[in-house]
Structure 1
């Protein structure tokens, strides 16, 4: 079975510490890498990853039945096909696009302003711990219609759910902890669902409660699973992508200057951030029949992990792929937040990320608020940058120093969606 070199493992601490330096060797020497410990295959070439993600008949999401359903408390969108997938995805998409999205961006600005106000006065913040993580969870709760005062507890439960889905080698103790988090989150959500059935509001949970499939209202279990689905899809990319966007711009000051001068370049900067450092690094599928990639046969029934980070740096698709390039001609900013994106950070095909439009609007809105107010923004002297995560990946922290520019946080005309 092809391997990058004897003893190489994507499950090793060395790989997790810096997977990016291994991607080229994987694509060139072991585009189909087998991990015996979990009997799974890892694909790293763009064409192979795209093939798997777009052929939903040959490569199904059956792996999610064991990986996600126990903590999602029911089937998630990625497990569904046919009429059920179309109907339920449409319900969620309508709650995260169009007029709903424009209204949500007002809430995003208000929430960001509330969190930023005390931080700006100090001229320093950790963009991950002080702002990004609380912001991502609180905004998602705002959209769903959950009480934001509970955000720390919801974040802790969500962390357990995410660990279960993304952990490739969970110990029995961690598995039990994750399942307990899911049970507690479900117990928290069920009374809210029942209350929204009686007294609906403008929030997404109310939309889900009022929706029907096959002329029947969604069950409490269905709604619970979709809520947790949205919680994961909307929260996971936000804090990681925002921090990575600022890291790349700070590390490339000439490009930061260009974005400051022309905010219309923000979508391109976000798209390039998603390409170069996608927050979701692995997407699992099951091979329903034997398939050949680069001369290697993946057997029927095997678990296949699509390596999004490696595919997004494939030189067969992107020129100078390990470089952050704001004006990249081979990316296509306009389609970078759709299922037709050249990069694969949101997946592609039938099960592309349902929250892509929301993520783009949210990150663009917040970045447009931050950039004019963080003059001379720079990495804090003495801080050491570190990322973690194999399945999802992002900065542990991002300590920044800056000169605050004092302008009203809610007075500017930022993105309306």
Structure 2
């Protein structure tokens, strides 16, 4: 295939520091970018990314056998096909919709109020490390029905699982660490699975334990894989999206003021955040046969990385794509959290993210709670913004000052609280 000798690399430090300026060049000059160090192809145009994500016969999820299954302890939803995929996906989706979702929203609001309360009188919070990361784990443990007293240990194990899945290159030492985290998480989950089989409740783990496929209950290995699948999918993007939402609104004070005046604009602000800076930047697939994109051939068997961030800023689909605009007419807020979404932050097609509805409810609920509390919100003096991550991407921190709130907030003790990180 034709190569462009530009010295450009997706694996470079410059790209890692800020990938967004490179997206236009990739779409225009190298829409099929080959990385020889990992022998993989990166697609950046919206139409090409959408083609890969919707053509499930030509582009499969076989790569996840290597990239995810070792730490998921079994096949994940994206690896399944046919009736098995439909049945298991339906079980998981039911855990994020209807009455279950309404119950989760109440728990989300309570968790968020508890976690933000200690920072209100201070008038300063790191929205990522003080709040977002612990909150994302809290909310996911609520869905699963796991003890939130264990959140720090579960978060540490999850961090290893996420590192394995989202790292393009892993050293042998880091690989061993990630696998150790997955093994310990599995050992933690197995007694819970056994207990829920005997005494099921209303939580998602109980649903998985009592569900049947072809008249046969799922094995412990299958249930474990789905639990870790949900833990990774629900936890990883949540804190990033929340922090990015506040960053973009702070950077666009007129839009922040509009959202404050009209909370009905909040879903549009979340949808635009997902388009503008999607927390999941890369989605891998494997080409089952030779495929041609923009005159270049991707060979059969090759790994293809769909560049969601670049596709979401394609001017062939979005007007003024490098501008954050909650009023843009080409986004379609109503469909932005469904399979009909114009942006690709949740993927698309058969393997679109199962937690899209939950993500909307989660971020919308928390943002609606925080916006009135964080009055005159602004960056803390001396704070320097930095993002990290190639596969998934978000702020390393978001240190904010706001008008202190002197009324006491809910306090259920300190045993479940995160360690404080002062900005």
Note the C-alpha offset of 1:302.
Answer: 0.6
Aligned to 1:327: 327
Q: Is the 8 A contact 2:267 2:364 kept in 1?
A: yes
Q: Is the 8 A contact 1:369 1:409 kept in 2?
A: no
CA distance in 1, matches of 2:103, 2:255: 31
Aligned to 1:137: 137
Distance 1:16 1:183, change over 3 A: same
Corresponding residue SS for 1:33: strand
Aligned to 2:414: none
What pairs up with 1:308-387 in 2 under 5 angstroms? Answer: 308-387=308-387
- Per-residue CA deviation, residues 200-258 of structure 1 (Å, 9 max, x unaligned), is 11111011101111101111001000000000111011100000000000000000000
- Per-residue CA deviation, residues 155-195 of structure 1 (Å, 9 max, x unaligned), is 11111111111111101111111111100000000000001
Aligned to 1:271: 271
CA distance in 1, matches of 2:339, 2:407: 37
Note the C-alpha offset of 1:404.
Answer: 3.4
CA distance in 1, matches of 2:292, 2:147: 49
Aligned to 2:231: 231
Note the C-alpha offset of 1:409.
Answer: 6.6
Aligned to 2:205: 205
What pairs up with 1:5-404 in 2 under 5 angstroms? Answer: 5-404=5-404
Q: Is the 8 A contact 2:123 2:405 kept in 1?
A: no
Distance 1:86 1:290, change over 3 A: same
Note the C-alpha offset of 1:406.
Answer: 5.8
- Unaligned runs of at least 5 residues, structure 2: 411-423
- Unaligned runs of at least 5 residues, structure 1: 411-417
CA distance in 1, matches of 2:300, 2:220: 35
TM-score normalised by L of structure 1: 0.97
Q: What RMSD over aligned residues (CA atoms) do the two structures have, in Å? A: 1.1
Corresponding residue SS for 1:376: coil
Q: Is the 8 A contact 2:118 2:409 kept in 1?
A: no
Q: Is the 8 A contact 1:375 1:402 kept in 2?
A: yes
CA distance in 2, matches of 1:340, 1:5: 38
Note the C-alpha offset of 1:339.
Answer: 1.1
Note the C-alpha offset of 1:407.
Answer: 6.8
TM-score normalised by L of structure 2: 0.95
Q: Is the 8 A contact 2:240 2:395 kept in 1?
A: yes
CA distance in 2, matches of 1:5, 1:391: 24
CA distance in 1, matches of 2:408, 2:79: 45
- Per-residue CA deviation, residues 55-107 of structure 1 (Å, 9 max, x unaligned), is 01110000001110000000000000100000000000001111100011000
Q: Is the 8 A contact 1:280 1:345 kept in 2?
A: yes
Note the C-alpha offset of 1:121.
Answer: 1.3
Distance 1:159 1:105, change over 3 A: same
CA distance in 1, matches of 2:402, 2:33: 44
Corresponding residue SS for 2:376: strand
Note the C-alpha offset of 1:390.
Answer: 0.2
Distance 1:5 1:250, change over 3 A: farther
Q: Is the 8 A contact 2:121 2:405 kept in 1?
A: no
Q: Is the 8 A contact 1:332 1:342 kept in 2?
A: yes
Q: Is the 8 A contact 1:276 1:324 kept in 2?
A: yes
Note the C-alpha offset of 1:6.
Answer: 2.4
Note the C-alpha offset of 1:393.
Answer: 0.3
CA distance in 2, matches of 1:381, 1:306: 37
CA distance in 2, matches of 1:407, 1:372: 13
Note the C-alpha offset of 1:8.
Answer: 1.0
Note the C-alpha offset of 1:408.
Answer: 8.3
Say how many residue pairs are matched.
410
CA distance in 2, matches of 1:123, 1:6: 47
CA distance in 1, matches of 2:305, 2:205: 32
Note the C-alpha offset of 1:116.
Answer: 1.0
